């Protein structure tokens, strides 16, 4: 079970990212159900963590523009388990997408300070 909170009508949740040299860094992310990937991270965070470069792709944004995006390899702790996921270098606020939530239940109480809960599907 993973907990977060609603802040300013955004469902936020902390994600533990393991840097290649082994230290863990907690990053606050917004859960974005309009994002079908795993994770976006600001380029400055990727540079600080020295995440390894993986690949370049096209991503389609809300204004229907396609942007070429650098993708990096991020090792995270998700529900207690270490996972390797694709992190897109973009934006100023880290986003958690639906690929990371796949096969999980997401519950959000949409009021200031409300509970965000990611849990196994019963």
Partner 1 sequence: MSHPTLSNQEVARRGKELYEESIRAKVETQENIGKIISINVETGDYEIGDDLVETSLRLKSKQPNAALWGERIGYDAVYAVGGTLLRTAQ
**Interface contacts to partner 1, rule CB under 8 A:** 32, 34-37, 40, 53-66, 68, 70-71, 73, 84-86, 88, 90, 95, 97, 99
Alpha-carbon radius of gyration of the chain: 14
CB of 75 to partner 1, least distance (A): 10
CB of 108 to partner 1, least distance (A): 18
Of 85 and 116, which CB lies nearer to partner 1 in the complex structure?
A: 85
Ramachandran region, residue 44 (left: φ > 0; alpha: ψ -120 to 50; beta: rest): alpha
Kindly provide the b/e burial profile for residues 8-26, where b requires at least 16 CB atoms within 10 angstroms of the residue's own CB: eebbbbebebbeeeeeeee
Of 44 and 84, which CB lies nearer to partner 1 in the complex structure?
A: 84
Cα 105 to the chain's mean position, in Å? 16
Of 32 and 116, which CB lies nearer to partner 1 in the complex structure?
A: 32
């Amino acid at each position: 079970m993973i907990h977060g909170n609603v802040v300013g009508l955004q469902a936020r949740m902390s994600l533990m990212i393991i840097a290649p040299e082994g230290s863990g860094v907690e990053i606050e992310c917004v859960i974005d159900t309009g994002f079908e990937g795993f994770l976006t991270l600001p380029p400055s965070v990727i540079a600080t963590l020295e995440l390894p470069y993986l690949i370049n792709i096209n991503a389609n944004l809300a204004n229907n523009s396609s942007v070429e995006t650098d993708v990096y390899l991020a090792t995270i702790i998700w529900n207690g388990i270490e996972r390797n996921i694709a992190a897109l270098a973009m934006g100023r606020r880290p986003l958690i997408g639906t690929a990371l939530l796949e096969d999980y239940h997401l519950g959000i109480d949409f009021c200031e300070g409300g509970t965000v809960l990611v849990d196994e599907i019963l």
